[in-house]
Structure 1
Amino acid sequence: MQRRSLYFTGPQAVEVRETSTTPSADEVLVETRVSAISAGTERLIYHGQAPSDLPADETLEALQGDLSYPLRYGYAAVGEVIETGTTVEDKWLGRTVMAFNPHETHFSAEPTDLVVVPDGVEPTEAALYPTVETATTLVLDGRPRLGERVVVFGAGVIGLCTIGLLASFPLSELLVVDPIDSRRERARQLGADVAMPPDELSADRWDDDAGSDGADLLYELSGQPAALDDARAVAGYDSRIVVGSWYGTKPTTLDLGGDFHRDRVSIESSQVSTLAPELRGRWTFDRRTDTALENLTALPVESLVTHRLPFEDAPEAYRLIDERPEDALQVLLTYR
Structure 2
Amino acid sequence: MTKLDSPSAHHATATAYWTVGPEKGELLREDLPAPGPGEALVRTLFSGISKGTELVVHHARVPECVAAEMAAPNQEGSFPSPVKFGYLSVGVVEDGPAEWRGKTVFCLYPHQDRYVVAVEKLTVVPDDVPARRAVLTGTAETAINGIWEAGPRLGDRVAVIGAGLVGGMVAKLLASFPLGRLQLVDVDPAKRSFAKALGVDFSRPDDALPDCDIVIHCSASEAGLERALQLAGDDGDVIEMSWYADRKVTVPLGEDFHARRLSIRASQVGVVARARRHRRTNADRLQLAVSLLSDPAFDAFLTGSSTFAELPDVVQQLSDGVLDALCHVIEYPGTESAPTEATR
Do both share a fold (TM > 0.5)?
yes
Match of 1:55 in 2: 68
Deviation at 1:181, TM superposition (A): 2.7
Tell me how far apart the structure 2 counterparts of residues 258 and 225 of structure 1 sit (CA, whole Å): 15
Deviation at 1:174, TM superposition (A): 1.3
SS at match of 2:182: strand
Tell me how far apart the structure 2 counterparts of residues 259 and 246 of structure 1 sit (CA, whole Å): 22
Match of 1:110 in 2: 118
Match of 2:259 in 1: 262
Tell me how far apart the structure 2 counterparts of residues 236 and 326 of structure 1 sit (CA, whole Å): 37
SS at match of 1:295: helix
Which residue of 234, 248, 270 maps to 1:251?
Answer: 248
Deviation at 1:37, TM superposition (A): 0.5
* Partners of 2:43 and 2:115 within 8 A in 1: yes
* Partners of 1:56 and 1:64 within 8 A in 2: no
Tell me how far apart the structure 2 counterparts of residues 319 and 78 of structure 1 sit (CA, whole Å): 23
Does residue 73 of the first structure (1) align with residue 85 of the second (2)?
yes
One-letter identity of the residue aligned with 1:7: W
Cα-to-partner distance string for 1:242-296 (whole Å, 9 max, x where unaligned): 1111111111111100342231211111122212233234434344233222322
Match of 1:145 in 2: 153
Tell me how far apart the structure 1 counterparts of residues 71 and 53 of structure 2 sit (CA, whole Å): 16
One-letter identity of the residue aligned with 1:29: L
* Structure 2 CA distance for partners of 1:275 and 1:308, relative to 1, 3 Å: same
* Structure 2 CA distance for partners of 1:185 and 1:195, relative to 1, 3 Å: farther
Tell me how far apart the structure 1 counterparts of residues 296 and 82 of structure 2 sit (CA, whole Å): 36
Match of 2:29 in 1: 18
Which residue of 130, 141, 149 maps to 1:133?
Answer: 141
Match of 1:314 in 2: 311
Note the 1:1-336 alignment, pairs <5 A: 1-26=12-37, 27-52=39-64, 54-55=67-68, 57=70, 60=73, 62-63=74-75, 66-84=78-96, 89-196=97-204, 198=205, 200-201=206-207, 205-206=209-210, 214-298=211-295, 300-324=297-321, 327-336=324-333
Deviation at 1:117, TM superposition (A): 1.2
Q: Taking structure 2 as the reference length, what is the TM-score of the superposition?
A: 0.86
Cα-to-partner distance string for 1:45-73 (whole Å, 9 max, x where unaligned): 1122212461265682x125532211110
SS at match of 1:128: helix
Deviation at 1:226, TM superposition (A): 3.3
Cα-to-partner distance string for 1:117-157 (whole Å, 9 max, x where unaligned): 11132211111110111111111111112222211111112
* Partners of 1:3 and 1:21 within 8 A in 2: yes
One-letter identity of the residue aligned with 1:55: A
Q: Which runs of 5+ in 1 are unaligned?
A: 207-213
Tell me how far apart the structure 1 counterparts of residues 231 and 265 of structure 2 sit (CA, whole Å): 16
One-letter identity of the residue aligned with 2:245: G
Tell me how far apart the structure 1 counterparts of residues 221 and 34 of structure 2 sit (CA, whole Å): 40
* Structure 2 CA distance for partners of 1:58 and 1:7, relative to 1, 3 Å: closer
* Structure 2 CA distance for partners of 1:315 and 1:181, relative to 1, 3 Å: farther
SS at match of 1:121: coil
Q: Which runs of 5+ in 2 are unaligned?
A: 1-11, 334-344
* Partners of 2:35 and 2:41 within 8 A in 1: no
* Structure 2 CA distance for partners of 1:306 and 1:276, relative to 1, 3 Å: closer
* Partners of 1:121 and 1:297 within 8 A in 2: yes
SS at match of 2:95: strand
Q: Once the two structures are aligned, what percentage of the paired residues are identical?
A: 32
* Partners of 2:17 and 2:110 within 8 A in 1: yes
* Partners of 2:168 and 2:184 within 8 A in 1: no
Deviation at 1:182, TM superposition (A): 2.9
